[in-house]
Amino acid sequence: MILKRYIEEPAGEDFDLVIIGGGITGAAVAYIAAARGLKVALFEKNDYGGATSAATSKLIHGGLRYLANGELKLVRESLRERRILGNIAPNFVYPLPFVFPNYKKWGGNIWKMMVGMYLYDMLSYDKKDTWDRSKKLQNHKLISHRKTVRLEPNLRQERLRNAFYFFDYQSIFPERLTLAFIKSAAEYGARVSNYTPVEGFVFDAGRRITGVKVRDILTGRTMSVKADLVINCGGTWADKILGMASEKDLQVHKIKRSEGIHIITKRIAGNHVVSIQRDDGGHMMIMPWRDHSLIGTTDKEYIGDPDDYRVSRESVNDVIEAVNRHFGRKISFDDVTHAYGGLRPLIDDQTKGTYQTSRKYEVYDNAVDGIEGMITVEGGKYTTSRGLARNVLKVISAKLSRTLSDSVSDNLYLSGCEIRDMKQFMIRQHLNYVDFDRKTIEYVSRNYGTDSKVVFQIARDDRRLAVVISHDGEILAEVVYAIKYESARTLRDIMLRRTGTGTLGNPGMDIIRKIASLAAELLNWDDARTEEEISTIMRVYELH
């Protein structure tokens, strides 16, 4: 299907729900609401999944560390959702082995970890209930010093005792997984629009919210959209949206923001996620991703306007220092090919540090704040977004006094993910597309799933679009697909969220200009706009 921008179409529709925010939470709520028969519109002020949802560790995990806080319910929910996402998005979510080293200086912590690992296995009792048999996860193991070193020879060797070996899942392209939720919502009739900020609200005589005022950043067009209920899925910006609706500062809904950054280097570890303990008691991970090492995350409170957030040189140096103190292989700033970061919205006791603050979520009917007609979602984590959306629908059903159809979100594949057996699917892809490089077949097939046939056909129709533009086989046809089928409107959309051409770092001006030239042709950019787009993507790679 072609993902259209609702703001570009004739106005006049009324909706059951207007959702503010196109990150993973808003995308999941839109999908489940539309699938259950509600008429939905979603507006995102920038691009879908372009903020917090893009700043993840690319993991779909149960949250082993939350056990230390006694959050068994959250861990169980996360483990259930891990399995469901592995089922409904099989080409994006894969099992990934972890090595958690134990050092003698930790003393009794190894026994705490052992209890935690057994509890983690017990809480994931349904982990073998997978649609694809290859995704069945095994229980943890305690492996010897010798095997630990053989698996990950670059671990710090001093006082190394042994390691826990277990599995979670990796999300190979979270931005495209978020987009799959958006596309699934659209397939059920949801009207969606990126680059369309909500700039005000429509009220009735009793000051009940009856709609929103939106503006198309790209054209300047404005319109009012009526809805029975507005769902605030603004994430890091949720309190600002509430302030706009109430015209006052609601202290009870102040969002606590935590900065999390990651750096990308050439590969410094093996094929496992390696956990290292920081000096503050927290953990950092070195993860394999696209033949590189993805290292993070940090957890530091951020004070200030979220619109002003940038990754700093200081934050990058903090990650480098942690690696050099606790890992066997040293790195320097020159080894960093890219760094990215974002702000997590947290809820909990404000006296806690951000690392200790819970990743639970809350769903509020804002009538208690004097804002009738709005529901706000606060907190949460990427892994539990689908489960969170289901709980939001319970509040919506009660608020609208409507009985909704049964939820199907745990039983149906997401858009483009209709693959029962990934191994057989990949075998067929290699047989069907022998005219493409093996790496291209692998990359395009996994990141576009069943929609990959359209990408390959675009390249076959014009062999100039079969030109490889990244080390892992990406092709120019993906740029055409992003613009024509997936509402990409900027060079950042194309390079950071539809394709992976810019997510490993600066690919070089030659590649950037090839992509920009093709985008300019399809989006009718003049020379000035093209140069502006190039300057914007180059600023992504500046560390301040």
Tell me the per-residue pLDDT of 103-126, one tens digit each, with 9 for 90 and over.
876 555 788 889 999 999 999 999
Residue 487's alpha-carbon distances to 325, 415, 483, in angstroms, are 44, 15, 6
Q: In whole angstroms, what is the distance from residue 414 CA to residue 448 CA?
A: 12
Q: What is the CA radius of gyration of the chain?
A: 23
Q: In whole angstroms, what is the distance from residue 411 CA to residue 131 CA?
A: 10
The total number of structural domains in the chain stands at 3
CB 148 within 8 A of CB 163: yes
Please give the pLDDT value at position 105: 62
Q: In whole angstroms, what is the distance from residue 212 CA to residue 228 CA?
A: 11
Please give the pLDDT value at position 106: 54
Question: Are residues 292 and 160 part of one domain?
Answer: yes
C-alpha closest to that of 67 among 137, 123, 6, 139: 123
The label of the residue with tokens 């806690």 reads 352
Question: Are residues 182 and 315 part of one domain?
Answer: no
User: What φ, ψ does residue 208 adopt, rounded to 5°?
Assistant: -85, 135
Output the DSSP codes for 220-252.
--EEEEEEEEEEE--GGGHHHHHHHHHTS--GG
Question: Are residues 189 and 167 part of one domain?
Answer: no
CB atoms within 10 A of CB 184: 27
Question: Are residues 273 and 151 part of one domain?
Answer: yes
Residue 256's alpha-carbon distances to 49, 69, 253, 456, 508, in angstroms, are 20, 19, 9, 44, 37
Q: Is the peptide bond before 297 cis (omega within 30 degrees of 0)?
A: yes
Tell how strand 160-171 and strand 141-143 pair up. Answer: antiparallel
Question: Are residues 146 and 39 part of one domain?
Answer: no
C-alpha closest to that of 154 among 330, 334, 333: 330
User: What φ, ψ does residue 235 adopt, rounded to 5°?
Assistant: 60, -120
Q: Is residue 505 part of a domain?
A: yes
Output the DSSP codes for 196-210.
--EEEEEE-TT--EE
SS3 of residue 231 by DSSP? strand
Please give the pLDDT value at position 544: 62
Q: Is residue 142 part of a domain?
A: yes
E strands within 30-175? 40-43, 59-60, 93-103, 141-143, 160-171
Please report which helix (H) or strand (E) contains residue 325, including its range: helix 313-326
Q: In whole angstroms, what is the distance from residue 328 CA to residue 323 CA?
A: 8
Question: Are residues 528 and 389 part of one domain?
Answer: no
CB 178 within 8 A of CB 23: yes
Q: Is residue 509 part of a domain?
A: yes
Residue 507's alpha-carbon distances to 42, 442, 514, in angstroms, are 33, 20, 11
Q: Is residue 383 part of a domain?
A: yes
- The domain in which residue 28 lies consists of 6-52+175-255+359-400
Please give the pLDDT value at position 68: 85
The CATH number assigned to the domain holding 510 equals 1.10.8.870
Question: Are residues 505 and 515 part of one domain?
Answer: yes
Q: Is residue 408 part of a domain?
A: no
Q: In whole angstroms, what is the distance from residue 184 CA to residue 449 CA?
A: 14
Q: Is residue 71 part of a domain?
A: no
Give 411-446 pLDDT, tens digit per residue.
999 999 999 999 999 999 999 999 999 999 999 999
Question: Are residues 493 and 525 part of one domain?
Answer: yes
Q: Is residue 74 part of a domain?
A: no
The CATH number assigned to the domain holding 382 equals 3.50.50.60
Q: In whole angstroms, what is the distance from residue 436 CA to residue 413 CA?
A: 27
Please give the pLDDT value at position 351: 39
Q: In whole angstroms, what is the distance from residue 497 CA to residue 495 CA?
A: 6
Supply the mean pLDDT for the chain.
Answer: 93
Residues of the chain with pLDDT under 50: 350-351, 353-358
**Ramachandran assignment for 254, one of left (phi > 0), alpha (psi -120 to 50 degrees), beta (any other):** beta
Q: In whole angstroms, what is the distance from residue 381 CA to residue 60 CA?
A: 10
Question: Are residues 495 and 458 part of one domain?
Answer: yes
- Please name the residues in contact with 403: beta carbons below 8 A apart, sequence gap of 6 or more: 397
The CATH number assigned to the domain holding 329 equals 3.30.9.10
The label of the residue with tokens 């659209």 reads 186
Question: Are residues 440 and 301 part of one domain?
Answer: no
> Within the chain, what is the greatest distance between any pair of CA atoms?
73
Question: Are residues 520 and 436 part of one domain?
Answer: yes
Question: Are residues 272 and 164 part of one domain?
Answer: yes
- Please name the residues in contact with 10: beta carbons below 8 A apart, sequence gap of 6 or more: none
Q: Is residue 500 part of a domain?
A: yes
